[in-house]
Amino acid sequence: MRYRASPAAPSSAMTDPAGKRVSSRAPTRRAASREVRSRKNGTPRSRRSSSSSRRAGTRGNYRSGCSYAYAAMATRTRAGARAKCAACGATVRANDRFCSTCGTPIAAAQAAPVPPSIAPEPARIESSSLQVPALGEAALGEQRKVVTILFADLSGSTPLAEKLDPEDLRGILSSYFNALARQIRRYEGTIDKYIGDAVMAVFGAPLSHEDDAERAIRAALAMQRSIQTLNDDLERQHGVRLSLRIGINTGEVVAGLLGGDVQSAYTVVGDAVNTAQRFESVAPLNQVLVSETTRRLALHAFEFETLPPVTLKGKAEPVAAYRVIRRRDDEIEPDVSPLIGREAELATLRAALEGAVAGAGRLVHIRGEAGVGKSRLATEFRLALGPDIERMSARCASYETNTPYALIAELIRGAFRIHAVDDEAAARAAILAGLERFGAPAEESATELLLDIVGFSGRSAIEPEQTRRLLLLVLRTVLERASQQRPLVIVAEDLQWCDPASREILAELARDITGLRGLFISTARAAWSVPWEAEPLELAPLGERDARALIEEVFEGRADEATVRAVFDRTGGNPFFIEEVSRELKRGGSVVPATVQEVLEARLDRLGDRPGRVVRVAACIGQNFWYRLLEQLVRDGPLAPDLATLEEEAFVVAKAMEPERTYVFRQALIREVAYQIQLLATRRSTHTAIGRALEALYPDRLDEFIDLLAYHYERGEDPLKALEWLTRAGDRARSLYANTEALTLYASALRVARDGTGPLDAAAILERIGDVQQLTGKYDLAVESYRQARGRTPGLSRPGVARLLRKVGMTLRAKGEYDESLVTLGEASQILADDEDVEAARIAVQVGQIHFRQGRYEDARDVITEGVALGERLGADDAVAEGLKLLGNVANNVGDLRGAIELYERTGAAYERLGDLVGIADIHSNLAMLYRRMDRFAESEAAYRESLALREKVGHVWGIATTHNNLGELHRTRGEPLAAIPSYEQAMEIFERIGARVEASVVLMNLGAARVEARDVDRGRADLQEAARHFVELGGTKFLPSVYRDLAAAALAAGELDEAHQSAERALGLARAGKVRQTEAVVQRLLGEIALARGDRDAARELLGASIELLRSLDEAAELRKAEAVLAKV
């Protein structure tokens, strides 16, 4: 069989400045470009007649075995002088009317002959930055971007300068720099500047692409090949070769126009630029050195050699460096996780393959958003195919959307096994071997055409009008013959970037698949319309279960629930985003990985100016945003078309229409990147505008938006507004006992507050911070906050100073530092002197609290009663309630249980009126203690549980620990010492953590007593002895009667009657001195037990009788029951 092409109309492919290249020759697709030129000259084309001829003519020809002859075609000689394109400098033929590289018309006057050597060129350095202004204001405005920066430095020009006239040298260097510029432009980089013999280029600014790091490396390798080609002529003429070292780095910069006296220049600044230059400075000659981030972004496309870390100027530590070795032939990410959540889709592809193997060709089109896993699914399916399946695959590149036949060239390379490093001879051999393998005629015409398509130009003599026709014929023959030998699977990926010429060829081949034993799988973004009939396979983001499995896979099962939830919420189930974010978090990196940011920045840059501005403003509002609010911020036209665009491009979705028209970003990552690319100054201005718009739109609902207003004004540029709303938000959080949030908000307010500037000055914020710290047990921090507040307000009133000192005293008392607390409270009283101020009432109550803690109950009762009376006169309800509670505590401790209950009930009513949840919790706890002592255990436990719930709600750490201790006491009283121990241990951990040393000693005492009762006597006695030492050291005399009472019980349990009697007598003396009647009665019972153990029944009977009489008078039912049980033994 021989190929034969019938005349056909040309296609409508577009032209592009460059084509794919695999050898050191200039990269062109000459045949494709000539075809494009013929269309630009107006060659008519009828789609219907063209299709008819293809169906009627082509299929008949290649199946009938008719011969193929170039002689039947109009041909054009390739002989003639070479010329340079004035636009891009590429070599063109004298009879070409359009440049095959850039498509620019070539006038006869421009086609000047070029001798076969390096001719000096005009001293003009081409810079794509001169083309930047045409992109529009939005693209050129200052913004933060993640870009890839390339520095390339020519080396070796000094020896050349010694041999040449300066004008000739300048012309030669211009040739080199123009060669570099062409490759930068080919991959859509921007030349930032020339510095001596170096050029700096930026990939990703002003417009981002999803593969900027890959583009930069491809440009670097192409630059090296271009230099080597020029070096051959330079060495022949002057005996010198120039070298090129290249450094590449990826990182965040600020990009935008930099104004000048004559002309603005587009440039990027940032540490990433300096790092790229440093990489270039240490790169070996004729090598490309890249950073870790760049390598990670391009790992799927290139092979790298890991070098020892390099020392870069300005960097404290050596930096990881990698040398680019070569392009990968098969672009598969080396480190991929198992495919999860796509079992149904894989089954669909397998079923389609079964039908194809049976002879019914099938077409499947996989579509979905970026990162959803289209290529991953296709790859997984392709890799699972057995050796009995012929595979062909190709992927479109974003930088080749206008390169004629780019996809077809990739398909040919894969099918014919042409490798990236192959030269023309190797590529020719591969084509001939492939034609033979497929059983297709190995004619020179086909071979030269295929070589031309894959980048080895200058061989095929076919006219451009016939290129498409012959190419289609050759490919149809190859596919048909291949499918006759074994089933065929063709995969074409990322067709949203397919060039028009390839798309037309692909559409023709796709229609033929149904008649072959073949399966054709295509993939594209959701917005791309497939031009042939195919079974659709829609990929959606992963559900939570599958997303969780993928996250666990990346973290190797070590991800906690908070991490899993955070990753899923940020990524919206997008598999690529899940993997990249998880990997980045696993290695402790950024929340938005560079891989994800590169993809999302490219998507954002592809939006028009106005939709791009709308999405950036919306990103400042938040993950959710209201139409009405956005409308107030973007007023230069209707908003609906822009939001429709953002919905179509899958940036946002409408969430609700009522009561507010609300939108939400599809993924948190989209919003974060749209936010991060904006300059800090832009963000601040927008946040301020959002705050003002909220106040204007919702003047009657501002309380609903306190947190939102605080958020925006904090990030804005109006410090007074920020202070106002942050403080209000902190107050609101504090009122809801959201203590961590309150501290965060107050800390933010403090950053913008000033000293002595009104009711919301720095001192007022510090005092609020101290109050929350005191509540949550951060005592040292609270004291420091109160003292700072006093120091930052020199003109503070006397009551104000007294208030801060009182709070310091309260905090020191909570720490158990009673003496220092009394000194501080005394200083506060002195400052007030004889003034009748509410602070005087509060101070008196706090002094009484310390006397109570120290066991001086009479002193406590007197000073607290004074404070309550003063508070009632001045309307200090908080002081009155606190005082009544403390008087109840005094009554409780001296054995007046009924009096204590009455005081607690009055106190509870007062706290209810004040809405003081901490106070209410205290009363529940105190009543529970009384119920326990009165043998009303069920009521006691219920009250303790209610107290604990309230204290946990408000975050009152000290109170939470106290309740756990009291629950332990309840267990002990019920005769459950083992059950009591965990409660005591919980209380101990909290008190030790917050530094409440007296309370921690009390719990240690109770824990020791419980262990003794649980028969762990030695350990219990050790705990009790340590607690006694602490009480003596801390001045906690109130608890000494109790600890000696428990030491007596421990010694009795150990059979050490003398020590038991000694401890009991000591406890009895301290109890009577302090009028602690309940402890006095319990110690009498212990002395009775000791006497009974000694055999002195009369003494035992007398002591137990006294104990029982006193306990009855105190209504101490629980202890009374124990004493009566012992008496029964006598």
pLDDT digit string, tens, across residues 411-436: 999 999 998 788 889 999 999 999 99
pLDDT digit string, tens, across residues 672-684: 999 998 999 999 9
Alpha carbon distance 770, 1050 (integer Å):
42
pLDDT given at position 264: 64
Q: Do 95 and 83 form a contact (C-beta atoms < 8 A)?
A: no
pLDDT given at position 294: 96
In this prediction, residue 893 has a pLDDT band, given cuts at 50, 70 and 90, of confident
CB atoms within 10 A of CB 636: 6
pLDDT given at position 708: 93
Percent of the chain with pLDDT over 90: 55
Q: Do 1077 and 933 form a contact (C-beta atoms < 8 A)?
A: no
Task: Quote the mean pLDDT of the chain.
Answer: 84
Q: Which residues of 808-834 are buried (b: 16+ CB within 10 A; e: fewer)?
A: bbbbbbbbbbbeebbebbebbbebbee
Alpha carbon distance 390, 488 (integer Å):
5
Complete DSSP assignment for 545-568: HHHHHHHHHHTTT---HHHHHHHH
Which amino acid would we find at residue 736?
Answer: L
CATH number of 957-1129: 1.25.40.10
For residues 884-897, give the mean pLDDT. Answer: 90
pLDDT given at position 216: 97
Q: Which of the two residues, 48 and 884, has the higher pLDDT score?
A: 884
The Cα angle at residue 222 between residues 15 and 470, in degrees rounded to 5: 40
Alpha carbon distance 150, 1075 (integer Å):
86
For residues 1051-1059, give the mean pLDDT. Answer: 94
Assigned token pair, 43: 């060659």
CB atoms within 10 A of CB 387: 7
Assigned token pair, 299: 């790992």
For residues 527-534, give the mean pLDDT. Answer: 89
pLDDT given at position 160: 80
Alpha carbon distance 939, 945 (integer Å):
10
CA 230, chain centre distance (Å):
47
Q: Do 360 and 563 form a contact (C-beta atoms < 8 A)?
A: no
Using the predicted structure, report yes or no on whether residue 809 has a pLDDT greater than 90.
Answer: yes
* Residue 13 DSSP class: P
In this prediction, residue 179 has a pLDDT band, given cuts at 50, 70 and 90, of very high
Using the predicted structure, report yes or no on whether residue 101 has a pLDDT greater than 60.
Answer: no
Assigned token pair, 642: 């822009």
Q: Which residue has the tokens 């209000």?
A: 728
Q: Which residue has the tokens 């925006």?
A: 712
If phi over 0 gives left and psi between -120 and 50 gives alpha, with beta otherwise, what is residue 1115? Answer: left
Alpha carbon distance 231, 248 (integer Å):
23
Sheet strand arrangement including 390-395 = 390-395, 488-493, 518-525, 362-368, 535-538
Q: Do 1066 and 1082 form a contact (C-beta atoms < 8 A)?
A: no
In this prediction, residue 385 has a pLDDT band, given cuts at 50, 70 and 90, of very high
Alpha carbon distance 309, 294 (integer Å):
15
HEC string of 249-301 equals EEEEEEEEEECCCCCCEEEEECHHHHHHHHHHHHCCCCCEEECHHHHHHHCCC
pLDDT digit string, tens, across residues 910-928: 999 999 999 999 999 999 9
Alpha carbon distance 711, 620 (integer Å):
10
Q: 1112 Cβ partners below 8 Å, 6+ apart?
A: 1120
- Cβ burial of 710 (10 Å; 0-12, 13-18, 19+) is buried
Using the predicted structure, report yes or no on whether residue 341 has a pLDDT greater than 70.
Answer: yes
pLDDT given at position 62: 35
Q: 896 Cβ partners below 8 Å, 6+ apart?
A: none
pLDDT digit string, tens, across residues 1059-1098: 999 999 999 999 998 888 889 999 999 999 999 999 999 9
In this prediction, residue 934 has a pLDDT band, given cuts at 50, 70 and 90, of confident
Q: 731 Cβ partners below 8 Å, 6+ apart?
A: 742, 768
Using the predicted structure, report yes or no on whether residue 98 has a pLDDT greater than 80.
Answer: no
pLDDT given at position 1028: 94
Alpha carbon distance 997, 991 (integer Å):
7
Q: Do 588 and 555 form a contact (C-beta atoms < 8 A)?
A: no
pLDDT given at position 757: 57
Q: Do 118 and 233 form a contact (C-beta atoms < 8 A)?
A: yes
Is the torsion defined by CA of 1094, 1097, 1103, 1105 positive or negative?
positive
pLDDT given at position 954: 86
Assigned token pair, 964: 């756990």
Using the predicted structure, report yes or no on whether residue 2 has a pLDDT greater than 50.
Answer: no
pLDDT given at position 38: 39
Alpha helices (runs of H) in 6-140, residue ranges in sequence order: 30-40, 47-53, 59-64, 137-140
Using the predicted structure, report yes or no on whether residue 548 has a pLDDT greater than 50.
Answer: yes
- With both helix axes pointing from N to C terminus, report the angle between 609-621 and 680-697 in degrees, rounded to the nearest 10: 70
Q: 872 Cβ partners below 8 Å, 6+ apart?
A: 880
pLDDT given at position 800: 92
Q: Which residue from 200, 213, 214 is spatially nearest to 152, judged by alpha carbons?
A: 200
CB atoms within 10 A of CB 374: 26
Q: Do 275 and 252 form a contact (C-beta atoms < 8 A)?
A: no
- Cβ burial of 135 (10 Å; 0-12, 13-18, 19+) is middle
Q: Do 16 and 499 form a contact (C-beta atoms < 8 A)?
A: yes
pLDDT digit string, tens, across residues 1013-1036: 999 999 999 999 999 999 988 876
pLDDT given at position 169: 85
Complete DSSP assignment for 618-635: HHHH-SEEEHHHHHHH--
* Residue 747 DSSP class: H
pLDDT given at position 1056: 95
Alpha carbon distance 1010, 969 (integer Å):
9
In this prediction, residue 289 has a pLDDT band, given cuts at 50, 70 and 90, of very high
Q: Which of 67-71, 149-153, 360-364, 425-429 has the lowest mean pLDDT?
A: 67-71
Alpha carbon distance 993, 995 (integer Å):
6
The Cα angle at residue 44 between residues 39 and 47, in degrees rounded to 5: 100
pLDDT given at position 1102: 94
Q: Which of 71-85, 411-425, 758-772 has the lowest mean pLDDT?
A: 71-85
pLDDT digit string, tens, across residues 107-124: 433 433 333 333 333 333
pLDDT given at position 259: 62
Q: Which of 59-63, 166-170, 484-488, 992-996 has the lowest mean pLDDT?
A: 59-63
Percent of the chain with pLDDT over 70: 85
- End-to-end Cα spacing for the chain: 124
- What is the CATH T-level fold of the domain 30-75+342-538, as seen in this structure? Rossmann fold (3.40.50)
Is the torsion defined by CA of 433, 437, 442, 444 positive or negative?
negative
Alpha helices (runs of H) in 876-994, residue ranges in sequence order: 877-893, 897-914, 917-933, 937-954, 957-973, 977-994
Q: Quick one: 120-327 is in which CATH superfamily?
A: Nucleotide cyclase, GGDEF domain (3.30.70.1230)
Q: Which of 176-185, 714-723, 802-811, 1069-1078 has the lowest mean pLDDT?
A: 1069-1078
